[in-house]
Structure 1
Amino acid sequence: MTQTQDPQIGRELAQAKFTDEMLDNMRALIGTELRTASAVNNEYATRLAILRFCEGIGDDNPLWTDDDYASTTVHKGIIAPPSFIFACLGSVQVGWPGLGGFHCETTINFHEPIRVDDKITAKVVFDGFDGPTDASNFAGRRIKDYLRQEYRNQNDELAATFICSRMRFERTEMQAKRESRKVELPHPWTEAELERIESDILAEAPRGAEPRYWDDVQIGDDLDVITKGPIGLTDEIAFVAAGAAPIPRIAAHGVALRRYKKHPKWAFRDPSTSALEPVYSVHYNDYAARLQGAQVAYDVGIQRTSWQIHQLTNWMGDDAFLKSIHGQYRSHVYLSDVVRLGGRITDKLIDDAGDHVVHVETWATNQRDQSVMPGSAVIRLPHRATDAEGNAQ
């Protein structure tokens, strides 16, 4: 063994089994407020922090990025996209030593917009778990856990509540079932297909200053579609650089090495480079992704939700407000995949808060016609009677 090798950090991700002791230990943690210091990426919603995040998800809506434009809107200045909460703190890790994990479901309620220079503080509580369930075709035995993440501004106003659910599984089971999910990768795109994809992306535009009135939309209306991809390595790097991940923060050289020595299960040694890599590298490192039971590197759950929020905010316009969003992550979105995201209005009503809202069934599909994130959203829209009274939207 060379001096550069560590007997505690191997070339495989940690592999553990569900045990009664593990489950008892996790039940004892229910209700615990978790430490967040190592996972906070932004405390302040500065103009540049918002801009970097928008670049990392590919959303150039001028309401988020152009102060001159934003100053003419009802907001009187730049606000952050609702998904910016992820750039403050995406999530944290809790327990389940040696098990694999996928973010499987997101539920968010939004309460207040985040404005430039707001200070955002996140509180995270472990709310418990379901399972273990019986064997599944996807990953064998698994559990589903729940983290409640509350984001407040400097006035102690609740900006958003995010319920982050992860599927935890035994990596050996996930690896054993990998071949049953095998697809052709990288996807063999033709030049004509790529030209159409890029044309669709360049044609996308936010509705902007023209209000989309509640009065004018109908149940059954389809929302505008946006396209992401083909997903590349730089898309994943840009997302990390935007501050939206990881858990804990990625670090380099001695800073990272000291963390890995303290927490050996956070890392593995890449056999091609001999470098230590974090478990999070499943999103940009094919070797790590295969250890996790995937085919190659794949996207991040909250990244996919950020794309759906981009689609919704493009459609709804500056005067509307996204009240809630829910999505389930199904199938991996691999590097080279293309995802199209859209939605359809399923209901139109005045809710208990007196808001004129639409309920939307959201969808995201890849080029293999797989549903990779079915979900729903509730959007408050301006309505003509309120506008006629001169009230703020």
Structure 2
Amino acid sequence: MERIAQRFASWRPDVPWWRDCTRDAFEHYALGIGNANPLFQDEEYAANTRWGGLVAHPLFLDSFGRRAGQGGGGFPGVHATHASLFWTFYKPVTLGLRIQMKSCMWEHYLAPSRFAGRMLDVVRRHAWVDEDDGTMIANNWGLVKRWERDAARGRRDTASPHRDWRRHVYTDEELQDLWEAYDAIEVRGAEPRYYEDVAVGDKVGPYITMPYVGREIISYYMGTGAPFMMSNTNMYNYFKRHPGANVPDPDTQTPDVPERTHYDQQFARFAGFPDMFDVLQPRSGYGTTMVTNWMGDDAFLRELSMLGRRPVAYGDVCWIHGEITEKFQRGDENLVKIVMVYDSQKWRASWGHALVSLPSRERGPVVLPEPGIDPETEPYDKENPTPEYAKEILYQPEPDLPDAAFIKDEVGVR
């Protein structure tokens, strides 16, 4: 922990999957996350919107940082997973934009855990900067949880909250219900959603994911890259520089990487989980898709948060829905806050919020906010590194929204 603390507030550039904002990059991200909105991938369609051309899905920015060790450095036997995030957006990502992403660790502390006995919570910061004019595109607070694999594996079948987990077996009727739900998903598109036409209590969504299998995360990695997605000479050279990144198969000693908890059941169980499980970034991207489907082409996403409470594992579906809880004007912006929940057939997996700037019949089109301050220029407060507003969102309590899942398992904590 002392070694990690020496690197607090030490900003460094990240390694991008894409170096240029191109049509292919936008489209591949949208395909990887399963987004069908033409605003993000159809040039002819996007040319007729208020943006005058293609814009990227808001979380396309994730593809500009794929450096390994984002959890606080490599420690053999200590796993890491993203636990919560809080985005603020200042302008859309358009074709030709040149982006630099940079990040740093900010704070850490030990926390008790039913899953592994104890965990190390690592707070991170990320910033995306327009290389041409130096203005902020977006920034992000993130929380990563780290735990000892041996401790989690020892509790997996006794004390873990996932000890009774089992794979869902679908009936033909359940699958038919899912197909009908997918057909019912709507994209608002070119029809503006005006501030005057929405009210507190309005429902948003739902958006429903496909049952989770390894293909889902591999598709996502095709659009964003991933820290350990390399092979042959590149993989060998990486292992040579970072021997702790090599986590061999426990039975065969075949060299491999810790990232495979998301597509390899055997290794997921070795790490203390009941099965392969999803990643927070694409899960938050699905929630973002629900919001951008709802808000239409003329709106702008200002904030997004998500707390990952429990895994979405093999065969699980995620039902995402939300509700408008606040509506207010701030300067030139007409804002609505949407509280969202993510439910699987077993339990509530996540929750969070979105803040959306809508066009107004009375005040006109959306006005983009002033560019944010580069967080690298902020002083580091050793006594209270993470401000209270960020902590409140990273550890936000579960909202009181009804369960969205229409397929239920008896196993799990709902």
Pair in the same fold by TM > 0.5: yes
User: In terms of mean alpha carbon deviation, does 68-77 or 278-287 score higher?
Assistant: 278-287
Tell me which of 219, 243, 253 is aligned to 2:200.
Answer: 219
Tell me which of 28, 52, 57 is aligned to 1:76.
Answer: 52
Tell me which of 353, 375, 393 is aligned to 1:376.
Answer: 353
Distance (whole Å) between structure 2 residues aligned to residue 361 and residue 257 of structure 1: 45
Residues 230, 359 of structure 1: CA spacing in aligned structure 2 closer, same or farther, 3 A cutoff?
Answer: same
Match of 1:186 in 2: 167
Task: Please report how far the alpha carbon of residue 63 of structure 1 lies from its aligned counterpart in structure 2 after TM superposition.
Answer: 0.3
Q: Do residues 316 (structure 1) and 282 (structure 2) align? A: no
Q: Residue 333 of structure 2 contacts residue 366 of structure 2 at CA under 8 Å; is this kept in 1? A: no
CA RMSD of aligned residues (A): 1.8
| Aligned pairs for 1:244-255 within 5 A | 245-247=225-227, 249-255=228-234
Residues 175, 271 of structure 1: CA spacing in aligned structure 2 closer, same or farther, 3 A cutoff?
Answer: closer
Match of 1:52 in 2: 28
Task: Please report how far the alpha carbon of residue 334 of structure 1 lies from its aligned counterpart in structure 2 after TM superposition.
Answer: 0.6
Letter in 1 for 2:105: F
| Aligned pairs for 1:203-282 within 5 A | 203-243=184-224, 245-247=225-227, 249-270=228-249, 275-282=254-261
Task: Please report how far the alpha carbon of residue 35 of structure 1 lies from its aligned counterpart in structure 2 after TM superposition.
Answer: 5.2
4+ runs of 1 displaced by more than 4 Å?
Answer: 271-274, 390-393
Task: Please report how far the alpha carbon of residue 205 of structure 1 lies from its aligned counterpart in structure 2 after TM superposition.
Answer: 2.5
Q: Do residues 349 (structure 1) and 328 (structure 2) align? A: yes
Q: Deviations over 1:68-115 (max 9, x none)?
A: 110111011110010100122256413251322121111100111000
Residues 90, 358 of structure 1: CA spacing in aligned structure 2 closer, same or farther, 3 A cutoff?
Answer: farther
Match of 1:168 in 2: 146
Distance (whole Å) between structure 2 residues aligned to residue 196 and residue 331 of structure 1: 24
SS in structure 1 at match of 2:260: helix
Residues 392, 172 of structure 1: CA spacing in aligned structure 2 closer, same or farther, 3 A cutoff?
Answer: closer
Residues 91, 147 of structure 1: CA spacing in aligned structure 2 closer, same or farther, 3 A cutoff?
Answer: farther
Q: Residue 26 of structure 2 contacts residue 41 of structure 2 at CA under 8 Å; is this kept in 1? A: yes
User: In terms of mean alpha carbon deviation, does 193-202 or 312-321 score higher?
Assistant: 193-202
Letter in 2 for 1:226: Y
Residues 347, 365 of structure 1: CA spacing in aligned structure 2 closer, same or farther, 3 A cutoff?
Answer: same
Task: Please report how far the alpha carbon of residue 182 of structure 1 lies from its aligned counterpart in structure 2 after TM superposition.
Answer: 2.6
Task: Please report how far the alpha carbon of residue 232 of structure 1 lies from its aligned counterpart in structure 2 after TM superposition.
Answer: 1.8
Task: Please report how far the alpha carbon of residue 154 of structure 1 lies from its aligned counterpart in structure 2 after TM superposition.
Answer: 3.1
Unaligned 5+ segments in structure 2 are: 369-414
Q: Deviations over 1:168-188 (max 9, x none)?
A: 122222212222313443211
Distance (whole Å) between structure 1 residues aligned to residue 87 and residue 140 of structure 2: 4
Match of 1:34 in 2: 12
Distance (whole Å) between structure 2 residues aligned to residue 97 and residue 54 of structure 1: 34
SS in structure 1 at match of 2:247: strand
User: In terms of mean alpha carbon deviation, does 183-192 or 88-97 score higher?
Assistant: 88-97
SS in structure 2 at match of 1:342: strand
Task: Please report how far the alpha carbon of residue 392 of structure 1 lies from its aligned counterpart in structure 2 after TM superposition.
Answer: 6.7
Letter in 2 for 1:356: N
Task: Please report how far the alpha carbon of residue 28 of structure 1 lies from its aligned counterpart in structure 2 after TM superposition.
Answer: 1.6
Match of 1:9 in 2: none
Q: Deviations over 1:278-334 (max 9, x none)?
A: 111111111221122111111111011111100110010001111001110011111
Distance (whole Å) between structure 1 residues aligned to residue 185 and residue 67 of structure 2: 30
Match of 1:336 in 2: 315
SS in structure 2 at match of 1:225: strand
Tell me which of 29, 41, 65 is aligned to 1:89.
Answer: 65
Q: Do residues 149 (structure 1) and 129 (structure 2) align? A: no
When the two structures are superposed, what TM-score results if normalisation uses the length of structure 1? 0.87
- How many residues align? The count is 361
Q: Deviations over 1:154-201 (max 9, x none)?
A: 332211101121011222222122223134432111111011112211
When the two structures are superposed, what TM-score results if normalisation uses the length of structure 2? 0.83
Tell me which of 103, 107, 110 is aligned to 1:124.
Answer: 103
Distance (whole Å) between structure 2 residues aligned to residue 148 and residue 382 of structure 1: 30
Match of 2:264 in 1: 285
Q: Deviations over 1:205-227 (max 9, x none)?
A: 21001111110111111102010
